[in-house]
Amino acid sequence: TNGINWILKGYVDMKDGGASTKVSSILEKCYKSGVEGVHEGASSHGLRVTATDEMVFNPLLAIFATIARGGWDFKGDNLAFHYFTAKLHVVMAGKVLAGWQDPNMKVSAPTIEAFKTTTNQESVDAFCASLFAGKGVPELNEPRLRGFRDAMVASLLMYYDDVKKELTLQSKIIMAIHGAAREHNIDFKTLSEWGTAVRYDFQAKNAANMGDADASEAKRAKMAVKMLSNIVSAQQNNYK
């Protein structure tokens, strides 16, 4: 957590055991609040054991990746291993925990390029900047982090409809998204269309690792046609 205090300010320089205690406390609150799927006695240790099982039983993941992700001491470890490959192994193990079938395959992140065009480029860029300005995380608007910011925006939009349905319009996430949209005259239907475009593009690019190549590509093609139709309609309205 060192050096990332602008993302999770409350999780920096925690004492040993601090993270596990924090997670166990959150799980206890979830259980008492009746959160579905959280059982009495759930703890950070239980999550860790389950995660370890998922990694160990994936035949395509190297055991070194499991060790690196778990943070365990390893006698075969050395500085060269740590400097050259530790982060790579941690990421590969993370893919398994995220549900990817083959951690050795490249995973494409959600991208705003799925819906960004020459006609809406300015409004998209302004929307992204507004979403993380003010009391948000303004550092994400700096040039060096803009790519990361755009991937976060794409991820939010990809699950926009799902989150809005589950948490309602009173969700802080939805309120922030709607606030940024209003600021730049972007209607909520457009947000939904952008999110669908991101989802289809994400599925198509990662189809080989999701086992749905034909269906995903068909979805992306369908969305491309729909977005092109929207662009033509917008241009025709501008000429009226």
Average pLDDT, the chain: 80
160 pLDDT above the threshold of 60 = yes
pLDDT tens by residue, 117-149? 888 999 999 999 988 886 667 777 888 888 898
How many angstroms separate the CA atoms of 21 and 221, rounded?
47
pLDDT tens by residue, 201-233? 888 888 877 766 555 556 556 656 666 666 556
C-alpha distances (whole Å) from 207 to each of 138, 201, 227 are: 34, 10, 21
- Please identify which residue in the block is written with the tokens 């999701």: 210
How many angstroms separate the CA atoms of 41 and 43, rounded?
6
pLDDT reported for residue 214: 57
pLDDT tens by residue, 49-72? 888 888 888 888 888 788 888 877
- Please identify which residue in the block is written with the tokens 């979403």: 131
How many angstroms separate the CA atoms of 128 and 167, rounded?
22
Among the ranges given (23-27, 29-33, 135-139), the one the predictor scored with the smallest mean pLDDT: 135-139
**Residue among 208, 201, 188, 86 nearest 155 (CA):** 201
Instruction: List b or e across 111-136, with b for residues whose CB sees 16 or more CB atoms inside 10 angstroms.
Output: bbebbbeeebeeebeebbbbbbeeee
Q: Which two tokens stand for residue 193?
A: 């269309």
